[in-house]
Structure 1
Amino acid sequence: PPFLLSAGARGRRLVEGLPHPPSAILHWGATAVPKGAPYALVTDGPYDPDDPTYPEEWRPRRWSRFYLGLQRRAFRGAVRVFTLSEWARRKVLAVHGLAPERVVRIGWGPLGEPAPPIDAARRPLFAAVGSDWRRKGMDRVAEAARLLSERLPGAQVVGVGVPGDLDVPDGPGFRGVRSGLPPGEVQALIRDAAALLLPARFDASPHVIYEALRVGTPVVATPVCGVPEAVCAPEGGRIVPPDPEAIAQACLELWREGEHARRRALAVYERSGGWRRCAEIVRDSLEGALAVPAVP
């Protein structure tokens, strides 16, 4: 194949078993250097030792300078570094000093299959989906839900995911599903919601944004990492400060806009091109970098 997708040891074994080496290896990762052909990396953001907003899981517990060195070697040896967001692209350029033309933003898309469309009256239901509730800002969601329930009769926010080190008790307007739900039920919740709430403290490139937009559910989110690029406010929803009052007000506005807000959100998703557009950017960029024959 002209390009081979690599993922860790399994990818290495696949390369070794090919009768002919590929033109390039496309690898998701930040420190490993694929062998057997020129390689390109895909990343949602590098380790930045000077950024205090990074969550603990993005920070090496030990040997941080060694880890940074491994990452720098991997990035600088790649023929291309593909980032999911412009935020991540700027990070790679700033931390590792690569030439701008070698770092390409490709965007990202949803995971899983969308819930089938329905033709039913909407109700004031809002959703917040994701584990690690501290990072996802579920405490902000719960307080915004309380404010929203005072202004919109019957309003309820359902938070789904494994809480991690921050549990948020149920309260006025907020109900938590702490064990998670089957994927199909999560997608149905996103489809039925008047808006998806994502007031995160840090979230590099959350797939759930596109899972909402593809079914016409607008998004209320905070301006962290690559999130604003995906939401495309005000078309795809609202970007608000990390304040429950602002979150509640945005939810109320989107509820009142009704189907107009949903049509705009769907248009944002259609314009993004989804994963197909990401793949086209990768293909075209690698063909140019390696001067290989075009892939039909």
Structure 2
Amino acid sequence: MTEVHVLVPDGIDDPCRPSGGNVYDRRVCDGLVALGWSVHEYAVAGQWPLPDAQARLAVGAALALVPDDEVVLIDGLVASVVPEVLKPEADRLRLVVLLHMPRDEACEVAALSAASAIVATSNWTRRWLLDHYTLPEDRVYVVQPGVDMADLASGSLSGGRLLCVGSITPAKGHDLVLEALATVDDLAWRCVFAGSLKLDVEFVDGLRRQAEDLGLADRVCFTGPLRGAELERAYAEADALVLASRAETYGMVVTEALARGLPVVATNVGGVPEALGHADGSRPGLLVAPGDPQALAQALRRWLGDPRERARLRVAARSRRLALSNWGQASRELAAVLSEVAG
């Protein structure tokens, strides 16, 4: 049996704090167990990625429990900000950093330099790391997220049931979505914003005021985080996913939408084009410049106002759906990296 020790942020399974990183960590850990690995998990308390002294000590204490020469997989949210903890352990342990989102900080490159391997969650992230940091290319791997296949969403005739999934924070660009929607208020649509409302309460309050000021309060809904059957229902009732992120290393919600045959209207940022992919040479969605509400509005008008375009994009999304990789594949790819590091 192959063995790995995994350090993750405390709260990985907290239903009030869903995130792509948490989902990825949980699914690949479960996948490794299914492959016959012995997975020892350490949930490290702290306000990551802004740890206090006690949180830093907790990482050191967890690593101290690991026997010499063992493989340790550390979530990048933790690893990137504690290089002073990782460096003394680098000769004793085989450290692998699972990096969801680069921070572009000096402490991060110091932490990554202490690792035997870095696993990026997209090809875009790997390119970014090699462009910005002095890292050996053969130590930086890619394991893209998987996705669960789901039933096809039926879709409405008008295409006006829009869905945004993601924590309600400035990085996800919900304010840009509202601004864009205000310019297509002559068309029939409703938009559901599904995501945590507690990570940036001031921003959420500002969004509610923005919706009121734009006259959209009765056409948008902030549900809070959705999981399980509630999230499935939200996808099933949607016509398209809207993602206006200002930064995104992959965008797991993109493939979650495609797994249901939902086209995507998104910003052309980071790894989003990689997640969106192609279907027989055609994009299963519309990509626009980040931070540009007018471009987003034009794409939404194109989706809402052109039945032929909607039909074309739905065909492309259903085709792309068949080529998506599952979590079992992601776990096998990660297991191959860990085995190489161990060997």
TM-score with structure 1 setting the length: 0.74
Distance 1:160-1:120 versus aligned 2 partners, 3 A rule: closer
Structure 2 counterpart SS, 1:251: helix
Deviation at 1:197, TM superposition (A): 0.7
Distance 1:261-1:45 versus aligned 2 partners, 3 A rule: same
Higher RCO, 1 or 2 (CA under 8 Å, sep at least 6)? 2
- Name which of structure 1's ranges 257-266 and 93-102 shifts more when overlaid on structure 2: 257-266
Matched, 1:280 2:332: yes
Cα distance in 1 for partners of 2:319, 2:69 equals: 37
Residue 189 of structure 2 is matched in structure 1 by 155
Could you list the runs of 5+ residues in structure 2 that have no partner in the other structure? Answer: 10-41, 45-58
Residue 78 of structure 1 is matched in structure 2 by 115
Structure 1 counterpart SS, 2:330: helix
Cα distance in 2 for partners of 1:120, 1:81 equals: 40
Residue 13 of structure 2 is matched in structure 1 by none
Identity among equivalent pairs (%) = 23
2:171 to 114, 135, 139: 135
Cα distance in 2 for partners of 1:194, 1:281 equals: 33
Cα distance in 2 for partners of 1:254, 1:200 equals: 25
Cα distance in 2 for partners of 1:105, 1:158 equals: 32
Distance 1:118-1:125 versus aligned 2 partners, 3 A rule: closer
Deviation track 1:141-195 (CA, whole Å, cap 9, x = no partner) reads 2233234342x4x322233342742413153597333351542333322232211
Matched, 1:37 2:93: yes
Deviation track 1:223-266 (CA, whole Å, cap 9, x = no partner) reads 11221111125433111122233332342378644565335324
Structure 2 counterpart SS, 1:148: coil
1:217 to 232, 251, 262: 262
Cα distance in 2 for partners of 1:254, 1:187 equals: 27
Residue 65 of structure 1 is matched in structure 2 by none
1:249 to 301, 306, 309: 301
Deviation at 1:95, TM superposition (A): 2.9
Cα distance in 2 for partners of 1:23, 1:272 equals: 33
Counterpart code for 1:41: V
Residue 286 of structure 2 is matched in structure 1 by 238
Structure 1 counterpart SS, 2:286: strand
Cα distance in 1 for partners of 2:99, 2:165 equals: 23
Residue 175 of structure 1 is matched in structure 2 by 219
Residue 294 of structure 1 is matched in structure 2 by none
Residue 28 of structure 1 is matched in structure 2 by 75
Q: CA RMSD in A?
A: 3.3
Deviation at 1:82, TM superposition (A): 0.6
Counterpart code for 1:31: V
Cα distance in 1 for partners of 2:127, 2:322 equals: 25
Preserved contact between residue 155 and residue 238 of structure 2 (Cα < 8 Å): no
Cα distance in 1 for partners of 2:179, 2:231 equals: 22
1:205 to 241, 250, 275: 250
Structure 1 counterpart SS, 2:283: coil
Residue 61 of structure 1 is matched in structure 2 by none
Preserved contact between residue 160 and residue 176 of structure 1 (Cα < 8 Å): no
Deviation at 1:283, TM superposition (A): 1.9
TM-score with structure 2 setting the length: 0.65
Aligned residues: 267
Could you list the runs of 5+ residues in structure 1 that have no partner in the other structure? Answer: 50-67, 292-296
Deviation at 1:118, TM superposition (A): 6.1
Residue 15 of structure 2 is matched in structure 1 by none
Distance 1:270-1:16 versus aligned 2 partners, 3 A rule: farther
Distance 1:252-1:118 versus aligned 2 partners, 3 A rule: closer
Structure 2 counterpart SS, 1:215: coil
Distance 1:217-1:229 versus aligned 2 partners, 3 A rule: same
